[in-house]
Structure 1
Amino acid sequence: MTDTTSETVPGTTTDREMKRALWRGWRRRCPNCGEGAMMDGYLAVNDACPHCGEALHHHRADDGPPYLTLLIVGHIVGPAMLWGYVAYEPTPLVFIAVFGLASILMSLWFLPRLKGFLVAMQWATRMGGFGRVDPAA
């Protein structure tokens, strides 16, 4: 990887590799080093990476992860519900239990990964405060 000078944000010297940062975010790791945990618990983002010290408190994921989770899970479970109903004609209780549980489990799995993904995307593109040089440092 060759670093190039960035002219868009004052005080920045190198571009950040998007693919690597997104993969690290998906894995809930620091987008800078890939070693430290991004999350402190299930969804709370650490203020800084415990391994390299990269500031992560600038993130503004807000409602993005739940919306993306709903979009992805809905597009998987919706067609599966149609296929399951046509193919097996389950009783209503079985139908609700199977697809309700599948929706909950998939949502719980996707939500922290999508939050990490969005925080890493913000870091890689220097959105919000991620592009500023901290005068206190």
Structure 2
Amino acid sequence: MEHDRPRPPLTGQEKFAWILGCGWHGRCPRCGEGRMFKSWLKIVDTCDHCGLDYRFAAPDDGPAFFSLCVIALPLIAFVVWLQVAFDPPIWVHLVTSVPFMAIGTLAPLRPIKGWLVASQYVNRAQEAGTGALWSMLHGTEQGQNDFDQ
């Protein structure tokens, strides 16, 4: 398939900005135009603009890990502070803390997943030693992978 595909800039800061921009907006990490998601967290099979095959994308539990470790821990600290400082009744936590925690940990999942997929593509990241197996399973030529599409 012939397509115009601007490559992400190669310098460190520009590469980082490209990854964050594609991840935040849910755009294809190769062309920056096509959609990365077909639903809230489900990745499309191929880019509707440049045809990038997303078989390489394997963020696995990364978005949940980052959401829980980076976002939920400070939120928990806030809820504990609220309890210690004011000792509110349980209904106050049900009305404030539970929605605060749920929204605070679920809302960033999509941008984090987009960031991980874009980072995986831009940095050509794949599990070490899986190149030959990947070629055999997906019918690509030996020495090529999905980043060479």
| Percent identity over paired residues | 30
Q: What CA distance in whole angstroms lies between the structure 2 residues aligned with 1:71 and 1:130?
A: 31
RMSD: 2.1
Q: Which runs of 4+ in 1 moved over 3 A?
A: none
The counterpart of 1:46, out of the listed 41, 44, 52, is 44
Q: Is the 8 A contact 1:18 1:125 kept in 2?
A: no
Q: Is the 8 A contact 1:46 1:57 kept in 2?
A: no
Q: What CA distance in whole angstroms lies between the structure 1 residues aligned with 2:118 and 2:71?
A: 21
Q: Which of 1 and 2 has higher RCO (CA within 8 Å, sep 6+)?
A: 1
The counterpart of 2:62, out of the listed 42, 46, 64, is 64
The counterpart of 1:80, out of the listed 49, 59, 78, is 78
**In the alignment, residue 22 of structure 1 is paired with which amino acid?**
L
Q: What CA distance in whole angstroms lies between the structure 1 residues aligned with 2:110 and 2:23?
A: 10
1:89-133 deviations in Å (ceiling 9; x for gaps): 3111211331111111122211111111100110110113443x2
Between the two proteins, the alignment pairs up a number of residues equal to 120
Match of 2:130 in 1: none
Q: What CA distance in whole angstroms lies between the structure 2 residues aligned with 1:124 and 1:130?
A: 12
Q: Is the 8 A contact 1:21 1:120 kept in 2?
A: yes
Q: Is the 8 A contact 1:122 1:130 kept in 2?
A: no
Q: What CA distance in whole angstroms lies between the structure 2 residues aligned with 1:27 and 1:108?
A: 16
Kindly indicate which of the two structures has a greater share of residues assigned to helix: 2
TM-score, normalised via structure 2 length: 0.70
Gaps of 5+ in 1: 1-13
Q: What CA distance in whole angstroms lies between the structure 2 residues aligned with 1:76 and 1:52?
A: 40
TM-score, normalised via structure 1 length: 0.75
Q: What CA distance in whole angstroms lies between the structure 2 residues aligned with 1:43 and 1:54?
A: 18
Return the offset for 1:15: 4.6
**In the alignment, residue 44 of structure 2 is paired with which amino acid?**
N
Q: Is the 8 A contact 1:69 1:107 kept in 2?
A: yes
Return the offset for 1:38: 0.5
Q: What CA distance in whole angstroms lies between the structure 2 residues aligned with 1:130 and 1:104?
A: 36
Match of 1:110 in 2: 108
